[in-house]
Structure 1
Amino acid sequence: MLEGVNVALGVSGSIAAVKVVELAHELRRHGASVRGVMTHSAQGIVHPWAVEFATEHDVVTELTGRVEHVELCGRDGWADVLLLAPATANTVGKIAAAVDDTPVTTCATTALGADVPVVVAPAMHEPMYDHPGVLDAIARLEEWDVDFVDPRVEEGKAKIATEAAIVTGVASATTEKPLAGTKVVVTAGATSEPLDPVRVLTNRSSGKTGRAVARACHVFGADVTLVHDGPDVHYADVRRAETSAEMLAAVEAACRDADALVSAAAISDYTVDASDEKIRSGEPRTLELVPTPKLIDTVREEYPSLTIVGFKAETSGDDEAMVEEARRILDRVGLAFVVANDASVMGDDETRTLFVRGDSTEEFAGSKAALGERVAAGLGRELDEA
């Protein structure tokens, strides 16, 4: 997601600076190169050697005759983006007022003047975050196209956002936006059909692929609605759906004003007439499985012009069989393309898939995060050509 991106990481004197080592590692795990810049206050919380260790670069702790702020964030500087994490109320206010009295604020002024993207992850006590002057400073910086990764307001504190949210914010600031102005609905994970109040009929899908697609679509500029039975996420509006019927209803509603649907969920093919009371154990039991409506068929009938991307999991392990089944669905529903994969990758971080379009087939092998980017890019091309 950040392959080849140079990140200047500005660290100011919040206690959240203790998280900067892991944040630097996380940025690098996604492909970025990172160089640290620290205020004097930040150095009292985390030693520059720790940041040097995490980034494998010398850390800027003072500005010298090398004009490090220009070297990093000038028009021909090293950085593709300046990330301020954590950013204190003091630092945010100074940047909004063009006050340059630390290496971090001077880098920020330089970046803003040079049109280098700036991403800010604030961290402070909640009353400080709610101060009118701080809110005004944030609003002014947003007017200057500075991107903010909102903090987690908990226990009276505006805590720094998660590393995943910050990585997404940096990726969004440094990625072209082929899906800008579009609304994309994504389904993810398994559905569960209740057998009784405590038991369900479900499958092994983890939802990793669907969430990766939703995240990539957000990074590519889309307004994303994620329909699943999983956690809230920072990159999409989540509509929770447990059963196949709930997922179908949620998707039909979300698609009313959508440009595309990516159906990555492993939706139950069967439901049962659930018992109102817990089924007693130890008794023989026969369940009558009732087929559920096919989500993509139902959505296609309701929205004939909607761009739809389908996923198809098979257990045969045979590429020809997977392609044949994917092409059957592609033609039946009129899909943009189908991503076919072996069901054995459920729950894994790595995957291998076949992209099936018309008469063409393209293989992909790699992480599910990278697969999400490939799907989002393919969707962008489909919408551009529509």
Structure 2
Amino acid sequence: MLDGVNVALGISGSIAAVKVVELAHELRRQGATVRGVMTESAQGIIHPWAVEFATENEVVTEITGRVEHVELCGREGWADVLLLAPATANTVGKIAGAVDDTPVTTCATTALGADVPVVIAPAMHEPMYDHPGVLDAIDRVESWGVDFVDPRIDEGKAKIATEEAIVTATARATTEQTLADSHVVVTAGATAEAIDPVRILTNRASGKTGRAVARACHCRGADVTLVHPGGDVHYAETVTVESAAEMRDAVVAHTDRDTDAVVSAAAISDYTVEAASEKLRSGERRTLELEPTPKLLDDVREAHPDLPIVGFKAETSGDDGAMTEAARSILDRVGLAFVVANDASVMGSDATRTLFVDEEAVSEFSGSKRELGAAVAERLAAGVVE
């Protein structure tokens, strides 16, 4: 997600600075190289040696004759992005007023003047976050193109956003916006069919691939609607569903003339049953009458004949020829842009191996589901969404 990206990490004097070591590790796990910049107040909360350990680079604690702010964030500087995490109310206000009295604010002024992307993750007590002057400062800095990662409001505090949210915002700021101004609807996860008020029929899908696709599309600039059984995510508008019928209805409802693509990565139940109104007694033999569920892709295609749609097809044979044949069958029936075919054995795991199948060719992909999500988004940008 951040392969080859240089991140200058500015740290201010919030207690949330204690989370910086893990944040730096996560940025590096995603492929980034990180260099720390600290205010004096931040050094009273976390020692520069800890940041040096986490980044494996020397930490800037003062601006010297080396003009570190220009070296890092100037027009020919090292950084691809300046990430301020955490950023205090004091730091945000100073940036809004171009006040340069700490290494962090001096780097911010330099980055803004040099058109280096800036991402800010504020952290402070909630009354400070609600102060009209702080809100005005945030609005002003946002108007300059700076991305703010909204804090989590909890226990009277505007707590710093999650590592995942901060990493995603950093990736979006440094990724070419090839899906900008587009709307992509993505499905993810396993649907479930009620047998009674307690029991369900479902499958082993984790939803990792669909969520990775949604996140990757967001990083490329798309507005994403994620339809899945899970809860809210920070990178998409979410619609929570359970059954195949609910997922079908939600996708149809959220796919309009302004939608640019649908990616159906969910493992949708093929069969449903008539649910009992009360819990079925255990210890008794039962015969369930299985009824086919609506075909989401067919219904979306009927409503939108020209809409680019990407399908996923899981098989259990383990044979590439059989997976390709099954993928081509749905490709031709629905008129899909391409199909991602995989062996069902990867359900729930972080790694995957798939075949990309379109009208002209079959290509193999192996890697993490995060990387697969990026590959699907790249294909969308290159040949599907215009």
Does TM-score exceed 0.5, indicating one fold? yes
Residue of structure 1 equivalent to 2:36 = 36
**The residue matched to 2:348 in structure 1 has which SS?**
coil
| Whole-angstrom CA distance in 1 between matches of 2:325 and 2:266 | 20
Unmatched 5+ stretches in structure 1: none
Q: Which residue of 1 aligns with 2:155?
A: 155
Aligned counterparts, 1:249-328, within 5 A: 249-256=249-256, 257-328=258-329
**Where in structure 2 are the equivalents of 1:81-160 lying within 5 Å?**
81-160=81-160
The separation in 2 between residues aligned to 1:291 and 1:383, in whole angstroms, is 30
Q: For residue 375 of structure 2, what is the amino acid of its counterpart?
A: R
Q: Which deviates more, 255-264 or 308-317? A: 255-264
- CA distance in 1 between counterparts of 2:293 and 2:253 reads 18
**In 2, distance between residues paired with 1:22 and 1:75?**
29
* 1:222-249 residue CA offsets vs partner (Å, 9 max, x unmatched): 1000000112100000001100010000
User: Aligned with 1:378: secondary structure?
Assistant: helix
Structure 2 regions of 5+ residues with no counterpart?
none
1:384 to partner: Cα distance: 4.6
Q: CA deviation at 1:302?
A: 1.1
Can you list the C-alpha shifts for 1:13-71, whole angstroms capped at 9, x where unaligned?
00000000000000000000000000000000000000000000000001111010000
The number of aligned residues is 385
Query: Matched residues in 1 for 2:98 and 2:285: separation?
Result: 75
| Aligned-partner residue type, residue 40 of structure 2 | H
Q: Larger deviation: 24-33 or 359-368?
A: 359-368
Match of 2:200 in 1: 200
Partner residue, 2:373: 372
The answer on 1:49 being equivalent to 2:64 is no
Residue 246 of structure 1: aligned partner: 246
In 1, the alpha carbon distance for the partners of 2:282 and 2:179 equals 51
Residue of structure 2 in register with 1:361 after alignment: 362
How many angstroms apart in 2 are the aligned matches of 1:253 and 1:382?
25
Percentage identity across paired residues of the two chains: 77
Q: Which amino acid aligns with 1:215?
A: R
Where in structure 2 are the equivalents of 1:157-236 lying within 5 Å? 157-236=157-236
Query: Aligned partner of 2:237: which letter?
Result: D
Q: Secondary structure at the match of 2:339?
A: strand
- TM-score (structure 2 length as normaliser): 0.99
Contact 2:311 2:336 in 1 (8 A): yes
Distance 1:364 1:79 in 2: 31
Q: Deviations over 1:194-213 (max 9, x none)?
A: 00000000000000000000
Quote how far apart the aligned CAs of 1:173 are. Answer: 0.3
Match of 1:17 in 2: 17
Q: Give the whole-Å Cα distance in 2 for the aligned partners of 1:66 and 1:204.
A: 56
CA contact (8 A) 2:260 2:385 kept: no
Q: Which amino acid aligns with 1:234?
A: H
* Counterpart residue type for residue 58 of structure 2: D
- Residue 293 of structure 1: how far off its partner (Å): 1.3
TM (norm. structure 1) is: 0.99
Please give the alpha-carbon distance, in whole angstroms, between the structure 2 residues aligned to 1:382 and 1:207. Answer: 25
Aligned position for 2:336: 335
Question: In the TM superposition, what whole-angstrom CA distance separates every residue of 1:251-290 from its partner, at most 9, and x where no partner exists?
Answer: 0001023111000000000000110000000000000000
CA RMSD of superposed structures (Å): 0.7
Distance in 1, matches of 2:266 and 2:164, equals 22
Structure 1 residues 297-322: Cα deviation after superposition (integer angstroms, max 9, x where no partner) = 11101111111000000000000000
- Residue identity in the other structure for 2:169: G
Partner of 2:78: 78
Which amino acid is the alignment partner of residue 106 of structure 2?
Answer: T
State how far apart, in whole Å, the 2-side matches of 1:222 and 1:269 are.
Answer: 30
Runs ≥4 in structure 1, deviation > 4 angstroms?
Answer: none
